[in-house]
Structure 1
Amino acid sequence: MAAPKKVGIGTVAFSNPPVILATATIVGAKEGEGPLANTFEKVVEDPYYGEESWEKAERRMLQEVLEKALAKANIKPQDVDYLLAGDLLNQIISANFVARALAIPYIGLYGACSTIYEGLALGAMLIDGGFAQYVLIGSSSHYSTAERQYRFPTEQGAQRPLTAQWTVTGAGAILLAASGAGPRVTHATIGRVIDLGSADPYNMGAAMAPAAANTIVSHLSDTQRRVEDYDLILTGDLGAYGTALLHKLMAEYGHDITRNHNDCGLLIFDRGKQDVHAGGSGCACAAVVTCGYLMQQFQQGKLKRALGVGTGALLSPLTTQQGESIPAVGHAVVLQA
């Protein structure tokens, strides 16, 4: 017997769509100089944020936005059923240590840069399934922590190719609830891991674009919807090269998304004025653009229905050193006013 809330192969349609009750954002100085500056609640000029290390700074940012989202909704940590969070650092240490501080029942997530959308999908399932009233979701990244872990320490000053993207410094948080006022999560499409053989860790957009395309096509097929049914299709962090590849792949599938598609990695920075090469990336990229810009668009009545697709490159320093290709995944949620 088919699962009653399953639609097609990989999509869930929620009977009682959860509500995004509150969001919160914090970003670093470079993000605060970009075109979305007025959509972020706090800009931190000091990359250490008053801490002893970049890693502790990232942890502080994540804890702050999670607490801020709760405060906005006047919800206490003890009222939250589950915390779903993740980041890029070894064994998702930012999220783990923040969970220790908040003392909320915790499920750690690793979806790389797709983590915020993975959390949204799973959080919506928990609430719609009757297992939770409130679910708190968050993710974070930091340019310097990611560079040190995945590439080279910033002090080394290594040159990067133009296909490389700039890891966003910041954190985003979402409080999902069973009822209330705000955009609703009506559907979630869980993506498959796609790997077409790209092995260049300096061109993650190329690795993630096929996964984004696969998830979007699967979602449209499962729901019997068209590209035009969405005011906006927002991908996580494909950057300039990944976006171009996504448009080409979608055209091959028979879909033109060029009129209503945008990418968080292209929105967050001004590539003409800021030296970010192909655009933004990192767990915080989709998180802060979704929690800031996208929510603002809904609040201002500019969007009625949007499809958000978080994309993640599932590589590690170990797999790169061993010459492995880069698996990628995309998870999508439908947000509706």
Structure 2
Amino acid sequence: MDKKMIGSRSIRFATSPYIVGSYSLVGKKEGEGPLSCYFDEIEEDPMFGGETWEEAESRLQYRTANKALENSGYKQEEIRYLVAGDLLGQLIATSFGVMDLQIPLFGIYGACSTMGESMSLGAALVEGGFADKVMALTSSHFAGAEKQFRFPLDYGNQRPLAATWTVTGSGAVIIVSEEEMRKHKEKNNPQEPYISITGITTGKVLDFGVKDAMNMGACMAPAACDVIYHNLKDFNYKPDEYDKIITGDLGYVGKDILLDMLKEKGYDIASRYLDCGIEIFNKEEQDTHSGGSGCGCSASTLTGYILKKMKKKEWKKVLFVPTGALLSPVSFNEGNSVPGIAHGVVLEVEQ
């Protein structure tokens, strides 16, 4: 058997899992941004028909999960496991949101890196033979995140230029075994290119002592650098072997820090680098300062933009690196710094 563990913290899957269905659902502001034509659905109502911001996010996540199932052609009872999470305390957007699906759940928290973590664990479950179909899902909601981590909207505080705007959005992917992918392909469109998860690089919690919770990019950039560096080192890749290296939500501030840190390690990725938080909003017209953030930022950009680019074979190999700031209202109010984490997922178009 080929060795799956490579380098210090990466996995190269011997039999790659595949993504056979996905869905992206975002709010009104995200739908007014540069990626509007890529999202599967844009919801004008910020409450999503609910009565509270938390209920709104649960409804957002539930609808996304159902639409991903519909796109994949599977029923909810066919999904072996659901790996999902969100930003709210005790994952209440997820637990209340997916309860009616009645799919066995692994609830996870990786802050804004959650989509990378859920896809990593889902792919490992499938490739290891523990499941044939897994859904990876996450979400965030601007108002819910502001209420929990910053200030209630009614307070009307001024946001510093380094601040990011939490994306109201959700993304879901259905990850299946190679055998299931072939069945799916025969049943649906045999000509359609499928995207595989060929490897992952797992991040570590890193704390560079940044205490400014409004500057998420600076908090998370070291973790993103660490994962990208070890991915390239573990797989023995050069940056140009990827069509794109895409971080989750470093924004404009974090982007500059990341590129400088990687140059110090001998890697220049500027020519193929993107950040979901930068791509999702128009900086000049939408007043989002440093860009977008939140679990839904990378998740909706992945399912709405990245996967569509890959299906058109405009990008054939992508390193997807969602990033997360591991703070809570308690840790911040007690004066702690903000650690970061990132998770890398290698995506390739079926040849």
Name the TM tier (shorter chain).
Answer: over 0.9
Q: Give the CA deviation at 1:176.
A: 0.4
How many angstroms apart in 1 are the aligned matches of 2:82 and 2:290? 32
Residues 291-325 of structure 1 show CA distances to partners (whole Å, capped at 9, x for unaligned) of 11001101111011000001100000111101101
Residue type at the aligned position of 1:270: N
C-alpha deviation, 1:218, in angstroms: 0.6
Q: Alignment partner of 1:67: what SS?
A: helix
SS at 1:27 equivalent = strand
Matches within 5 A, 1:1-337: 4-179=3-178, 180=181, 182-337=194-349
How far off is 1:183 after superposition? 0.4
Quick one: distance in 1 between partners of 2:131 and 2:49? 36
Over aligned residue pairs, what C-alpha RMSD do you find?
Answer: 1.1
Shift of 1:72: 1.1
2:219 and 2:340 in contact (8 A); partners too = yes
On the 8 A contact 1:81/1:132 being kept in 2, the answer is: yes
**TM-score scaled by length of structure 1:** 0.98
**Residues 61 and 171 of structure 1 are in contact (CA less than 8 Å); yes or no, is this contact kept in structure 2?**
yes
CA distance in 2 between counterparts of 1:41 and 1:99 reads 20
Please report how far the alpha carbon of residue 252 of structure 1 lies from its aligned counterpart in structure 2 after TM superposition.
0.5
CA contact (8 A) 2:22 2:72 kept: no
Counterpart of 2:277 in structure 1: which amino acid? G
Moved more, 98-107 or 26-35: 98-107
8 Å Cα contact 2:58-2:98 kept in structure 1: no
Matched letter for residue 110 of structure 1: Y
CA contact (8 A) 2:245 2:272 kept: yes
Q: CA deviation at 1:98?
A: 2.4
Alpha-carbon distance, 1:54 to partner: 1.3
Answer whether contact 1:190 1:331 (CA < 8 A) is retained: yes
Spell out, residue by residue over 1:74-97, the C-alpha distance to the aligned partner (whole angstroms, 9 max, x if none): 101111110000000011111111
CA distance in 2, matches of 1:38, 1:119: 26
Residue by residue over 1:35-76, the C-alpha shift from the partner in whole angstroms, topping out at 9 and shown as x without a partner, is 000111111111112211111111111011111111111101
Distance in structure 2 (CA, Å) of the matches to 1:38 and 1:148:
30
Secondary structure of the structure 2 residue equivalent to 1:37: coil
SS in 1 for 2:119: helix
C-alpha separation in 1, matches of 2:46 and 2:304: 20
Distance in 2 of aligned mates of 1:112 and 1:242: 16
Deviation of 1:99 after TM superposition, in Å, equals: 3.0
Contact 1:83 1:99 in 2 (8 A): no
The 3-state SS of whatever aligns with 1:159 is: coil
SS in 2 for 1:286: helix
CA distance in 1 between counterparts of 2:197 and 2:72 reads: 18
What is the aligned length? Answer: 336
Q: CA deviation at 1:259?
A: 0.1
Equivalent residues of 2:9, 2:234 under 8 A apart: yes
CA distance in 1, matches of 2:96, 2:50: 15
1: distance between equivalents of 2:137 and 2:12? Answer: 23
Question: How far did residue 284 of structure 1 move?
Answer: 0.1
Q: Secondary structure in 2 aligned to 1:130?
A: coil
Q: SS of the counterpart of 1:20?
A: strand
Percent identity over the alignment?
Answer: 44
Task: Tell me if the contact between 1:66 and 1:138 (Cα under 8 Å) persists in the aligned partners.
Answer: yes
Measured in 1, the distance between the counterparts of 2:152 and 2:97 equals 25
- Which consecutive residues of structure 1, in runs of 5 or more, have no partner in the other structure? none
Alpha-carbon distance between aligned partners in 2 of 1:224 and 1:165, rounded to the nearest angstrom: 34
Q: Which of structure 1's runs of 4+ aligned residues deviate more than 2 A?
A: none
Instruction: List runs of 5+ in structure 2 lacking aligned partners.
Output: 186-193
Q: Secondary structure at the match of 2:135?
A: strand
Q: How far apart are the structure 2 equivalents of 1:13 and 1:188?
A: 7
Distance 1:60 1:212 in 2: 31
Q: 1:161 corresponds to which letter in structure 2?
A: P
Contact kept in structure 1, 2:200 and 2:346, CA below 8 Å: yes
